[in-house]
Amino acid sequence: MIYLELYLSFLLIGFTSFGGMSMIPLINDQMLSHGWMTAAEVADIVAIAEMTPGPLGLNCATFAGARTAGTAGALAASLGVLTPSLTLTLLAAMFLERFKQSRLMGDALYGIRPACIGMIFAVIVQQSLANYAGSFLGFLSWPALVIGLVSLAVLLRFKWSVPKTILLAAGLGLILCGI
């Protein structure tokens, strides 16, 4: 039965990959080895999955399952790729609940918080340098800075939604940087 095969194929992909781009060779291998798609069709599925919101692996599984066996195939492939994550999350939740009152767990979580804040700060600095530094290090990219400040202003002051702000930023980018 193709639905079980899709589920098991994507279950294998979910358990043996680390998500994202690392799934693509495994998806390609499974699709080609079962004869469900050609390499060109897999490339198309990956391109579409990268353009749509959501995790790449789940999007690939959904599109590949739908292409292979319709809506039921999409559901089977999606459940297959999600099963490892759901299983591990449930196990982690059970252990966390069990050790929630543990002093050791509390101390570990207390230590993790500053590390997470530091990592977030590092990403902010890294992305700011990548987005606002011009072609020569030390010079600001004035169009990028204007777009960033205007975006921040409409988000905070006027409470615009994120999609509207993204469209505004794209429009400003076209105007300030040229089409």
DSSP string spanning 33-76? HTTS--HHHHHHHHHHHHHSSS-HHHHHHHHHHHHHHHHHHHHH
Q: What is the pLDDT of residue 179?
A: 64
pLDDT reported for residue 75: 97
Is the pTM for the entire model greater than 0.95? no
The pLDDT value recorded for residue 22 is 83
DSSP letter, residue 140: B
Take residue 42 and report the two structure tokens written for it.
């897999």
91-94: long-range contacts, CB 8 A cutoff, minimum separation 24: none
DSSP state of 99: T
Sorted by sequence, the CB contacts under 8 Å of residue 49 that are 6+ apart come out as 56, 59, 60, 63
pLDDT tens by residue, 54-100: 898 999 999 999 999 999 999 999 999 999 999 999 998 888 777 77
Residue 49 has pLDDT above 80, yes or no: yes
Residues 99-120: what's their mean pLDDT? 86
CA 29 and chain centroid, separation:
22
pLDDT of residue 90: 92
pLDDT at position 130: 76
Quote the CA–CA distance of 124 and 74 in Å, as a whole number: 37
What is the rounded CA–CA span in Å between residue 69 and residue 35?
13
Paired with 133 in beta bridges are 140
User: Is 177's pLDDT higher than 80?
Assistant: yes
The DSSP letter of residue 23 is G
Q: What is the C-alpha separation between 123 and 132, in angstroms, rounded? A: 14
pLDDT at 18 over 80: no
**Tokens 């030390």 map to which residue?**
138
pLDDT at residue 65, as a whole number: 95
Q: What is the pLDDT of residues 125-170, one digit of tens each?
A: 888 777 777 655 557 888 888 999 999 999 999 999 999 999 999 9
